Structures are given as structure tokens and as C-alpha cells.
Amino acid sequence: MTILQTAEDALAWGTQLAPTLAAGNVIALCGTLGAGKTQITRGIVAGMGSQAAVTSPTFTLVHEYLDGRLPVFHFDFYRMTYSAEIIGIGWDEFLTEPGVIIVEWADMFPDLLPPDARWFHIEPQPDGSRTLVERAS
């Protein structure tokens, strides 16, 4: 378990995770609104060497960051109602790309993620910090 005291801690954690990632990795980020999923994604993208300004793809479903060590495909399942919507935008093709996939709200459609996806659950604490735990879906 990791304790993230601030948004900067979440960013730093993502930056430290980035060098450990390889093409084909899928990162599932789960937590409530404002838990820090996008901040962690910013860190991962920056840790890949990208200069992109990372925002949540809530309304576009996916953002692509192609200027780093590996391409990063950033998904947000929050507004999706049916898995067919995700499959319809080419989800299966993204899974075969030589890059890293990050999915916010992955727990909404866990069956779409591959068995080797890495699941991170972020939980706000009463003191304002967050706990981050890697675990099974």
C-alpha cells in the first residue's frame, strides 16, 4: 500500500511507475471522482517522456499520447453504459498496439481488460490523503 498525501505525490508515483512499463501493459485505475486517477496518468505520461498536456478523456473516451518512449492510450469508461460502446471505438485494436493502455474507471467494465492488466485502487482517506493498492480486479 502507498499513501499519497498530495496531488504531487500522485503525479510522482505515476512518474516512477512509467519506466517499469512495457508495450502491451494495461493499467486499470479505480477510485471515486477526484481520487487522483488522472493525476497518476499525468505522471505516467510525463514519465514516458511525453510533453503532452494530459486531461481526462471523459467525453472523448480515449486520448493518445504518442511523443514519449512508448505510445500511451488513455481511456475513461466513466460515461459508458454498454461494453459495445467501447468495443465500437476499436478497443480490441488498441489492445494489440505496441503501447501502454491506461483505463480510468476500469472497474465499470472489468471483463474488457486482459487477464494480465495491473489494477490499482485509490481510496480517499478522512485526512485528505489517498491509499493506493495494487490488487486483482
> Which residue is listed with cell 516512477?
16
- Domains of the chain, by residue range, sit at 2-135
CA gap 100, 24 in Å, rounded: 6
Q: What is the pLDDT of residues 12-53, one digit of tens each?
A: 999 999 999 999 999 999 999 889 999 999 999 999 999 999
CATH number of this structure's domain 2-135: 3.40.50.300
Q: Above pLDDT 70, what percent of the chain? A: 99
Specify the pTM: 0.94
Q: 73, 99 in Cβ contact below 8 A?
A: yes
Q: What is the pLDDT of residues 90-124, one digit of tens each?
A: 999 999 999 999 999 999 999 999 999 999 999 99
CA gap 83, 2 in Å, rounded: 31
Q: Is the pLDDT confidence value at 84 over 70?
A: yes
